[in-house]
């Protein structure tokens, strides 16, 4: 009886530890992808830091590993422990940023009324039979007239976790492709209330010395959505702060001639 009682205690402790432990990647037979939302939130008089991520917990091992590494990179790339624990990863970056903000806040002699602020969310925004897209949105304020925001996306092939990149587009320097970029920018600014009827109207908004018919591509690679391929410029990259982050979607029918054979594996193209 005493032995049975001890076995029950040991088994109870084992179950308790399992329940408190974030699951490792589960390799499902049908490769169903699943995430768990993990967060970090710390506030004080000097600083507020908020982090959030849709962290992979089940699915194709190559895919889940690739997305976990991407999340780690987006938050700073300094975490070198086991990637199974999303909560520990966010705590590492959250505590690091919070400490840096506090030290910077204290070092400034002027009387600061508004606390520093940092928020960063990495969320799954699209999933099809072929790919998964994540979006990374960041905001940082450390005094001054305004904070700085950024927004990027990343698409992963579900079969192996390969990221969609500019390498999967070709002939991007041709007049035909650059016209798609120009057309996309015009549509963005018109949607925001700007009147654009000529090339000069567009150039008056932009802060680039490039030719109007050969505008630079965004530094960050485009990403895939069900509506097409999204291109997004960061603040000050091609337009002033007041213009926000110019972005637009190129339909698959328009961009298909510029997709490589590998690029087409992300979409349902026959």
> pLDDT tens-digit profile of 116-136?
899 999 999 999 999 999 999
Residues 101, 94 contacting (CB under 8 angstroms): no
Percent of the chain, pLDDT > 70?
Answer: 86
Residues 229, 249 contacting (CB under 8 angstroms): yes
Pick from 258, 248, 233: nearest CA to 185 = 248
SS3 228: strand
Among 45-49, 61-65, 101-105, where is mean pLDDT lowest? Answer: 101-105
Pick from 102, 134, 126, 130: nearest CA to 115 = 102
Q: Residue 21 pLDDT > 90, yes or no?
A: no
Residue 127's CB is within 10 A of a number of other CB atoms, namely: 14
Residues 164, 71 contacting (CB under 8 angstroms): no
SS3 251: coil
Confidence of residue 269 (pLDDT cuts 50, 70, 90): low
Confidence of residue 5 (pLDDT cuts 50, 70, 90): very low
Pairing of the two strands 228-232 and 34-43: unpaired
Q: What is the pTM of this model?
A: 0.86
The region, left, alpha or beta by phi > 0 then psi within -120 to 50, assigned to residue 78 is alpha
Among 99-108, 142-151, 238-247, where is mean pLDDT lowest? Answer: 99-108
**Tokens standing for 63?**
């895919």
Pick from 41, 40, 44: nearest CA to 55 = 40
Residue 69's CB is within 10 A of a number of other CB atoms, namely: 14
Among 80-89, 140-149, 208-217, where is mean pLDDT lowest? Answer: 140-149
Residues 93, 85 contacting (CB under 8 angstroms): no
> The dihedral of CA 175, 176, 177, 178: what is its sign?
positive
Q: In what order do the strands lie in the sheet with 223-225?
A: 223-225, 228-232, 247-250
Pairing of the two strands 223-225 and 228-232: antiparallel
Among 11-15, 26-30, 193-197, 219-223, where is mean pLDDT lowest? Answer: 11-15
Pairing of the two strands 116-127 and 47-58: parallel
**216-232: pLDDT as tens digits:** 999 999 999 999 999 99
């Amino acid at each position: 009886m005493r032995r049975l009682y001890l076995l029950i205690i040991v088994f109870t402790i084992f179950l308790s530890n399992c329940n408190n432990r974030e699951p490792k990647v589960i390799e499902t037979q049908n490769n169903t992808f699943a995430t768990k939302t993990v967060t970090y939130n710390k506030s004080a008089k000097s600083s507020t830091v908020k982090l959030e991520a849709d962290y992979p917990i089940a699915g194709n091992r190559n895919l889940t590993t690739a997305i976990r590494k991407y999340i780690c990179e987006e938050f700073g790339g300094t975490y070198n422990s086991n990637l199974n624990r999303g909560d520990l990863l966010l705590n590492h970056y959250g505590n690091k940023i919070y400490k840096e903000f506090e030290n910077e806040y204290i070092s400034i002699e002027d009387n600061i009324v508004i606390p520093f602020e940092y928020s960063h969310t990495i969320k799954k925004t699209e999933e099809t039979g072929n790919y998964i897209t994540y979006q990374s949105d960041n905001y940082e304020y450390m005094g001054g007239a305004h904070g700085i925001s950024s927004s990027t996306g990343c698409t992963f092939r579900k079969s192996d976790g390969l990221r969609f990149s500019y390498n999967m587009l070709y002939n991007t320097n041709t007049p035909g492709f650059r016209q798609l970029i120009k057309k996309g920018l015009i549509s963005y600014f018109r949607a925001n209330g700007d009147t654009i009827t000529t090339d000069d109207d567009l150039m008056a908004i932009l802060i680039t010395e490039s030719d109007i018919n050969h505008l630079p591509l965004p530094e960050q690679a485009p990403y895939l959505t069900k509506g097409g391929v999204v291109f997004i410029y960061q603040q000050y990259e091609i337009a002033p702060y007041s213009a926000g982050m110019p972005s637009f979607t190129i339909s698959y029918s328009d961009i298909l001639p510029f997709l490589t054979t590998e690029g087409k594996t992300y979409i349902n193209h026959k």
